[in-house]
Amino acid sequence: MKPGDALVVIDPQVDFCPGGALAVADGDAVMAPIAALSAAFATVVVTQDWHPAGHSSFASSHAGAAPFSTMTMAYGEQVLWPDHCIQRSAGAGFHPAVIPAVDRARLILRKGINPAVDSYSAFFENDKVTRTGLAGALRDLGVRRCVFVGLAYDFCVAWSALDAVREGFGAVVLKDHARAIGMPVSGGRTTVDVAEAGFAAAGVVLG
């Protein structure tokens, strides 16, 4: 830890944990460690996926589309997910074991609210143009480096870390405090491989 560090907890929600609508394997195992880690940070930020029903990123919004297939949207390729983290649903709530971190949060940022555009990153919607306002808030708080934990490592955590660098912050991802989906992609790779190649190119530190 350094002065000016912020812990950014990405989407520690029920729907992303075992038994949830878009479960990440072993996702619940990182919740208590994240809660414990948060006590060491003066600045904690928590993000929350907060989709309206019928969001365009849901497979159920497109006739005949299967979950985890992809579709080209106006802003690029989009994975079509099972319905998850619908506003005010139980699955959109925070996992009980992470509540101490949520209670310490200076900011809880809701994302994915626009029904036409998904938002993996804590900094930008998936069009990579529309800002969430997080960068400005962190600068106002004197943050210089973001330490990322949470779910999922290869999607929302990865996109957030890469955008942190893009916005001029240092970025660290604590892999032991995150879990991945690990979807296959072309060339025999997975989304974890893609994320980690991005980290290496951008200077994101794996801790």
| Predicted confidence (pLDDT) per residue in 96-120, tens digit | 999 999 999 999 999 999 999 999 9
Tell whether 72 is covered by a domain.
no
- Which residue among 17, 85, 146, 156 is the active-site one? 156
Tell whether 70 is covered by a domain.
no
Active site residue 11: yes
Tell whether 107 is covered by a domain.
yes
| Predicted confidence (pLDDT) per residue in 37-87, tens digit | 999 999 999 999 999 999 999 999 999 999 999 999 999 999 999 999 999
Cα–Cα dist 145/70, whole Å? 33
Active site residue 2: no
Total domains in the fold of the chain: 1
- Which residue among 11, 28, 83, 163 is the active-site one? 11
Tell whether 25 is covered by a domain.
yes
- pLDDT recorded at residue 1: 81
Tell whether 58 is covered by a domain.
no
- Which residue among 5, 17, 85, 111 is the active-site one? 111
Reported as a pLDDT band with limits 50, 70 and 90, residue 31 is very high
Reported as a pLDDT band with limits 50, 70 and 90, residue 10 is very high
| Predicted confidence (pLDDT) per residue in 142-196, tens digit | 999 999 999 999 999 999 999 999 999 999 999 999 999 999 998 999 999 999 9
Reported as a pLDDT band with limits 50, 70 and 90, residue 32 is very high
Query: CB of 17 within 8 A of CB of 91?
Result: no
Tell whether 158 is covered by a domain.
yes
What CATH number does the domain containing 174 carry?
A: 3.40.50.850
- pLDDT recorded at residue 2: 86
Per-residue pLDDT averaged across 14-27, rounded?
98
Q: Domain limits at 156?
A: 5-53+83-206
Active site residue 156: yes
Triad 51, 55, 61: Cα angle to 5°:
150
Tell whether 60 is covered by a domain.
no
Contacts of residue 153, Cβ cutoff 8 Å, sequence gap at least 6: 173, 175, 178, 179, 180, 181, 192, 195
DSSP string, 37-84: HHTT-SEEEEEEE-BPTT-TTBGGGSTTPPTT-EEEETTEEEEPBPS-
Tell whether 64 is covered by a domain.
no
- pLDDT recorded at residue 40: 97
